[in-house]
């Protein structure tokens, strides 16, 4: 049953990525999906316990506009720094601490930080994330964590933990 569900998930992904109703494309996608489902159906997808709970999906739906807002705000900040010659840029790698426990939650946090302009996740070591930041505004690790991580982390806890 798991392999069949994985097959349909792969076919749906293929159709969304190709956006084609050409029979050759559909059959090619079904063939590749069948091979992948047969080879990897016992391994993937690993769905954490309780991830399909409706409350988590509601939090995820709330997370999307929050992430888009943070991304747009960071885009304007970076664009302003690029276009204005006297705005300070103080790049550096900072260490921030997360309270997220699962690897999936930490990965989602690191990817959210990376997709936000001006920050780039470099490494995750235990509960610490190393972030390249375009403008390090403070040397206090607690304030750095608040500025970079805390907004994402509150919502990701509701989704993943």
Which among 51, 72, 69 has a CA at the least distance from the CA of 60? 51
Do 76 and 126 belong to one domain? yes
* Domain co-membership, 74 together with 30: no
**Residues 98 and 21 grouped into a single domain:** no
Whether 30 is in a domain gets the answer: yes
Helix (H) or strand (E) run with residue 130 in it: strand 128-133
pLDDT at res. 89? 87
Confidence of residue 66 (pLDDT cuts 50, 70, 90): very high
pTM of the predicted protein model: 0.72
Q: Which of 154, 148, 143, 141 is nearest to 95 (CA)?
A: 141
Please give the residue range of the domain that contains residue 114. Answer: 54-160
pLDDT of 79-136, one tens digit each? Answer: 998 898 888 788 999 999 999 998 889 999 999 999 999 999 999 999 999 999 998 9
* Domain-located, residue 49: no
Model confidence pLDDT, tens digit, residues 138-158: 888 889 888 889 889 999 999
Q: Are residues 26 and 95 in the same domain?
A: no
The single-letter DSSP state of residue 47 is P
Instruction: Please provide the DSSP assignment of 83-102 as one string.
Output: H-TTS----EEEEEE----S
């Amino acid at each position: 049953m798991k392999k069949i569900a994985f097959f349909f998930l792969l076919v749906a992904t293929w159709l969304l990525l190709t956006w084609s109703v050409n029979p050759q494309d559909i059959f090619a996608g079904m063939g590749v999906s069948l091979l992948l489902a047969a080879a990897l159906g016992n391994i993937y997808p690993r769905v954490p316990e309780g991830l399909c709970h409706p409350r988590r999906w509601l939090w995820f739906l709330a997370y999307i506009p929050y992430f888009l807002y943070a991304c747009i705000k960071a885009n304007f900040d970076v664009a302003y720094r690029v276009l204005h010659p006297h705005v300070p840029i103080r790049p550096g790698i900072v260490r921030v601490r997360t309270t997220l426990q699962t690897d999936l939650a930490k990965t989602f946090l690191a990817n959210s930080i990376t997709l936000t302009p001006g920050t780039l996740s470099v490494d995750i070591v235990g509960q610490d994330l190393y972030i390249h930041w375009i403008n390090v505004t403070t040397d206090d690790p607690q304030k750095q964590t608040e500025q970079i991580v805390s907004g994402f982390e509150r919502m990701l806890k509701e989704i993943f933990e």
